[in-house]
Amino acid sequence: MFKNIKTDSDREEVLELLTYAVLDHPERGEAALRTYQTSDDWKLFGVEDEGLIVGIVGFEEQEDETIVIRHLAVLPENRHRGYARGMLLTLIQERNPKRLTVDTDAEGADFFRNVGFAVYGSEDLSEDGQFHCVYEMDEE
């Protein structure tokens, strides 16, 4: 079940997932959680399985109908089960953006490439290991 968890009372579950999304830097996870809780622009949704939040997607909607993904994470024991892909599909269905964008590391770039994003940057060109990924919606 996909639900808004911006004000979720189970803070530790959400913080654990945010920590995975910021490459295991707990201080960045805490800062991200504070931003989600205090910003009207940043939204945080999660997917539940048997009452446990197993994945999160944090994003910001821009005026040009772009969704900027700020965080995407799934608990390690629940990875490779389609949760991340499912959260992206639900986000597209519910928000109907023109495009999704995300800046990520090499591992994340591989995931986004596999789900149809164009990936810009390379290990050679990207000093900080960051890649820019873009998914454009088909115009009908």
The domain segmentation of the chain, as residue ranges, is 2-136
pLDDT, position 24: 61
pLDDT, position 118: 95
CA separation, residue 122 to residues 37, 105, 125 (Å)? 34, 10, 5
pLDDT, position 8: 59
pLDDT, position 28: 82
CA separation, residue 102 to residues 9, 72, 85, 121, 131 (Å)? 27, 10, 14, 12, 8
Domain 2-136 in CATH: superfamily? Gcn5-related N-acetyltransferase (GNAT) (3.40.630.30)
What is the pTM (predicted TM-score) of this model? Answer: 0.87
Per-residue tokens: 79: 């990875």
Phi-psi region of 123 (alpha: psi -120 to 50; beta: other; left: phi over 0): alpha
Q: Going residue by residue through the chain (140 aa), what tens digit of pLDDT does each one get?
A: 678 887 655 678 888 898 888 876 778 888 888 899 899 999 999 999 888 899 999 999 999 999 999 999 999 999 999 999 999 999 999 999 999 999 988 889 999 999 999 999 866 554 566 899 999 998 65
